[in-house]
Amino acid sequence: MQVLFERERRPEVHPEVVLLRNAKELGGVDAEFASGLLQGILQHEEELHDLVQQHAPGWTWERMDPIARVVLLLGSYELAHTKDVPPAVVINEAIEVTKEYCTEESGKFVNGVLNAIAHRDAI
Q: Residue-wise pLDDT tens for the chain (123 aa)?
A: 565 666 666 566 565 655 555 566 655 556 677 778 888 888 998 999 999 999 998 999 889 998 999 999 999 999 999 988 999 999 999 999 999 989 889 999 999 999 999 998 654
How far is the CA of 36 from the CAs of 9, 17, 19, 96, in angstroms? 22, 14, 11, 22
Which segments within the chain are labelled E, that is strand?
none
| Domain architecture of the chain: domains with CATH | 1-43 (no CATH), 45-123 (1.10.940.10)
3-state secondary structure of 61: coil
On the CB side of 31, CA atoms within 13 Å amount to 13
